[in-house]
Amino acid sequence: MTFEIENVSKTFVSNDSDEEVLALKDINLTIETGKFISLVGPSGCGKTTLLRIIEGFVKPTEGTVKDDGEIVTGPSNQRGFIFQNYSLFPWLNVIDNVIFGLNIDGKPEKESKERAMKYLEDVGLKDFAERYPHELSGGMKQRVAIIRSLINDSKSLLMDETFSALDVQTKHKLQKQIHEICQKQNKTIIFVTHDIDEAVFLSDEIIVLSRRPGRIKKIFEIKLEHPRNRDSEEFKDLISEITQEIGELEDE
């Protein structure tokens, strides 16, 4: 069992007024090792906040998050986090971006670079190892950011709308890659997305949050076999069922 989220609520208090925003309310969730979990729900329902609480960037107002039995009190290299905006270092080339975290850990550079090259090869970026971020397309930058998180061998990976800015082809390719890599390494993934097709394609479970304050509204278990067929009736039915669940929330 990887994550235990117990009675988590979050209230934000703004600095310049006394106004309080209740972002999350009584979230209880157990996420088992090796599972791919998606969080979906209307804009502003607290998805990013929940992800940041699980990572340890934000403290919950109430409740606790445990990672393998230990209460999360701050970020850890056991948990990788992939931001939406790629966040590469512009002054480092691709391979140095990828091994940045390993360098901090004091790993030998030659070994790190060899490992990084294997990963880059996997995602078709071998020939771009010496290039700088400004020379890459959005999809390439995103692949570099993903590899940088994967190479750290964290047990889990938290992803916030990671693929949202990509064209459909690149997105589908990366979805397949992330699925394969995570299965191989038995990583636990918590994935925030607005893209229900993507959530159904990848997830073992899809968690629908209600409008703010976000509560768990419904959990869909997705049992379709991999690789999933987007043209199958079951796939399409799940998309419309989940979309409807979120749509109803947005009309409330």
Residues lying near Mg ion in the complex (CB under 5 A): 48
Closest approach of Cβ 115 to ligand ATP, in Å?
33
Which of the stretches 44-52, 109-117, 128-136, 229-237 binds ligand ATP when contact is defined by CB under 6 A? 44-52
Shortest distance, position 202 Cβ to ligand ATP, whole Å: 18
- Is the Cβ of residue 35 or residue 52 nearer to Mg ion in the bound state? 52
Least distance between ligand ATP and beta carbon 46 (Å): 4
* Contact pick of 212, 216, 238, 245 for ligand ATP (by CB under 6 A): 212
With beta carbons less than 8 A apart as the criterion, state whether 31 and 61 touch: no
Nearer to Mg ion by C-beta: 14 or 43? 43
| CA 101/CA 162 separation, integer angstroms | 19
Is residue 242 part of the contact set for ligand ATP (CB under 6 A)? no
SS (H, E, C) the chain: CCEEEEEEEEEEECCCCCCEEEEEEEEEEEECCCCEEEEECCCCCCHHHHHHHHHCCCCCCEEEEEECCEECCCCCCCEEEECCCCCCCCCCCHHHHHCHHHHHCCCCHHHHHHHHHHHHHHCCCHHHCCCCHHHCCHHHHHHHHHHHHHCCCCCEEEEECCCCCCCHHHHHHHHHHHHHHHHHHCCEEEEECCCHHHHHHHCCEEEEECCCCECEEEEEECCCCCCCCCCCHHHHHHHHHHHHHHHHHHHC
Nearer to ligand ATP, 52 or 155 (CB): 52
Q: Which does 29 bind (CB under 5 to 8 A by kind): ligand ATP, Mg ion, none?
A: none
Binder of ligand ATP out of 45, 94, 147, 202 (CB under 6 A): 45
Q: How far apart are CA 221 and CA 115, in angstroms?
A: 35
Q: Which residue is nearest to Mg ion (CB)?
A: 48
Residue (105 or 248) nearer to ligand ATP, CB: 248
| Residue 49 contacts ligand ATP per CB under 6 A | yes
Q: Binders of ligand ATP among 23-42, rule CB under 6 A? A: 23
Among 17, 18, 43, 169, contact with ligand ATP (rule: CB under 6 A): 43
Which of 157, 154, 156, 131 is CA-nearest to residue 144?
A: 131
Q: Applying CB under 6 A, what is the total number of residues that bind ligand ATP?
A: 12
Q: How far is the CB of 45 from Mg ion (least distance, A)?
A: 9
Among 1, 7, 32, 44, binds ligand ATP (CB under 6 A): 44
Q: Residue numbers of the site for ligand ATP (CB under 6 A)?
A: 12, 14, 21, 23, 43-49, 212
